Amino acid sequence: MINKYLSIGIFCPLFVLNIQAEEGMWQLSQLPDLNLEKIGFEISAGDIYSPDKLSISTAIVWLGGCSASFVSADGLVLTNHHCAYGSLQRNSAKDSIDYIDEGFLAKDRSEELPAIGQHAYVLKSMADVTDVILKSVKGIEALTEKEKRIEQKITAMEKEAENDREDRYCYIATNYNGKQYVKYLFNKYQDVRIVFAPPAAIGNYGGDIDNWMWPRHTGDFTYLRVYQAPDGSGAKYSDDNIPLKPGNYLKIAKTDLKDGDMTFILGYPGRTMRYRSSYSVDWNLNRTYIPRIERFQSILDIITEMSNENQEAKLKLASYDAGLNNTMKNFQGNVDGMQSSNFIENKRAFEADLMSFINSKRKLKKMYGDVMEKIAAQYAILEQSYDYDQVLENFGGYTIGVLYNLGSKAYDVARERAKPETDRRPEFSEKRVKDGMANLDYAYLRFYEPFDKTMLTRALQQAAKLPEEQRITALDFILKGSMEIDAWVDDAFAKTGLKDIAYVKDLYNKTPEEIEALNDPLIDLAIKLYDAKDRKYEEGKVWNAQIQDLRKKYIDALYAWKGQSLYPDANSTMRFTFGKVKGYKPADGIWYEPFTTLKGVVEKDTGEEPFNNPAKLTELSRSKDYGKWIDPELGDVPSCFLAECDITGGNSGSAVMNAKGELIGLAFDGNYEAMTSDWLYNPELQRTIVVDIRYVLFITDKFAGADYLLKEMGI
């Protein structure tokens, strides 16, 4: 249970809350100031969040990258289908059964599948720790050293809070670019199981064509169940584990939902940049979004070709495919939105007005008069090594495959351990290393050797194209060696020991010198690149310290000018947002209604992916076998609806509730016309796309015949 009020006292004199529009991803501590009863809520702020009693927030679950909620007294959880996609993919690769396309239903609890790699986090407490952290760096003027000490303090506090328990997770979030620090402590449940996932023809209906689009007809939901050990701890998977008895769970709405009804969301939005400068917008548009769209598409072309030729490739690369497609469309939406709305030009005009005001006040000019020039100078620094940095980034993450990453991470850990503790990277934690090792087995469930080899070859070829003055000299042993790149890669994969999980795990017991003595070609590549990456890491720390300090001043300047309310940017902490069920006008002469129906699902059916509606669902529609899930006004089963709520990535799977606090749906997307919402909220355009709980229950009942789940939820 959440047991302590979060204080934002340092902000109360500065930021007076303003709720004239449904904008805002509000902290739970800000709820009492929102006057919810006056805007149509039938429950109080204390019913939504209270540190002293069970509240709706107690039923909210974080999945690490998505949101979810408990819907029964036996740990049953509802989230999005795409949030369970990774676990479905890993099970598919393990069992050679396509659980994504075919779906999965456990007839009883004994048949539930382990959600491989998935953990569930339930908020236990939160506290404002700003004073503690800032006092620890009092007197330190050098920005880089100050930020390093802050990170070290955060790591130490997180370690202390977790107390070496595998079933505890602590995250100290930074708000307002370092003006506030909040400690979130979670109970971590390591045994999560898949109960029911509809087939992709329902859970991902419309695929990438409909992604981010309205009207939408996707049944984007999956049921999971959280288990605990008999002693109540969040133990790893075991036959002895029992379903978790959550402190609270959401009740399903029993009343109709209609246009204009109030809704609200509790979830874990990932990241927004609402208080960034025009220089940040420009950089992200021209140096992040546009080039990465091209990069993602080239990788997707490779994945598509491999998946079409080989079923193993399709199963193992499914998560790459889904993730890249989703991110690419998000980036494209940002590009389209920014370019069509003159986003950067408008931002610069706004900043010109800001600086005109600042420079008109002697005191403010002294404090903030040069803030924009200094921000511009920081982005000029990034520009100097842009091509080099982009190529170096290829040697890590999704762009390099599985094996190289396994070797590189193990060597990085060995190098950190070899340092005196005070010299280690502030974020280094043995507990995090242990957590990572526990997931090593899962990495191989998405290892497809031809893809790994292609990605490494591609990265080396791009490095070879760098101009001489920006070349990565650490790669000369390959690029200026006697072997062609293709031949070197083939030889490296033939000789590496990284295909053996036991070999990889043993790397974590070795010193850097012992790893270097292995002469493993893929690990040797990581060793050669270590110094170059380490230099970029240190340069990044200096840059981040400078830009964060400037962003603080930018926010202060904005307040000095406008004096408006300020909720913090999203940072994967639980937030509250609200708004009414409402359609929108995407263009002249077009109005989008706020509801879609089962009839619309059938009308989109072409018989081919991604509009291959299951025949059984079509028959249910044609025979009007709606059961109790029909909407009286629509005369049909509602599939999805729109709400004005303010969300972003990470909110996927979030519970959407009515004014009474009852579950009415699951948030799963935003709309394409408002893709720039991470940068700016537009009340006329921004909408949350929600799968209606009645569609979820209709599919559960009429399509899957899983009436035992309905009974468990009290229906």
Burial of 199 (0-12, 13-18, 19+ CB in 10 A): buried
User: What's the first-to-final CA gap in the chain, in angstroms?
Assistant: 26
Maximum distance among all alpha carbons in the chain? 75
User: Rounded to an integer, what is the distance from CA 22 to the centroid of its chain?
Assistant: 22
663, 241 Cβ separation under 8 angstroms:
no
490 labelled catalytic? no
> Reduced to 3 states, what is the DSSP secondary structure of residue 452?
helix
Q: How far is it, in rounded angstroms, from Cα 214 to Cα 621? A: 21
Catalytic residue from among 652, 669, 677, 692: 652
278 labelled catalytic? no
The beta strand positions in 219-341, using DSSP E, are 222-228, 242-243, 262-267
Nearest 10 degrees: Cα torsion 360, 362, 367, 369 = 40
Catalytic residue from among 81, 82, 119, 217: 82
669 labelled catalytic? no
> Of 189, 187, 196, nearest to 241 (Cα)?
189
Q: What are phi and psi of 373, to 5 degrees?
A: -65, -40
527, 474 Cβ separation under 8 angstroms:
no
State how beta strands 180-189 and 120-128 pair.
antiparallel
Indicate the DSSP class of residue 22.
S
646, 22 Cβ separation under 8 angstroms:
yes
Catalytic residue from among 47, 220, 412, 556: 220
Q: How far is it, in rounded angstroms, from Cα 219 to Cα 78? A: 12
375, 547 Cβ separation under 8 angstroms:
yes
> Of 473, 287, 290, nearest to 380 (Cα)?
287
User: What residues does 576 pair with on adjacent strands?
Assistant: 26, 266
> Reduced to 3 states, what is the DSSP secondary structure of residue 184?
strand
Burial of 185 (0-12, 13-18, 19+ CB in 10 A): buried
> At 118, which amino acid appears?
Q
What burial letters (b/e) apply to 43-75, b meaning 16+ CB within 10 Å? Answer: bebebbbbbeeebbbbbbbbbbebbbbbbbebb
Q: Which two three-digit tokens encode residue 256? A: 């109709």
Residue entry with tokens 């049909």: 636
What are the residue numbers of the active site?
Answer: 82, 220, 652
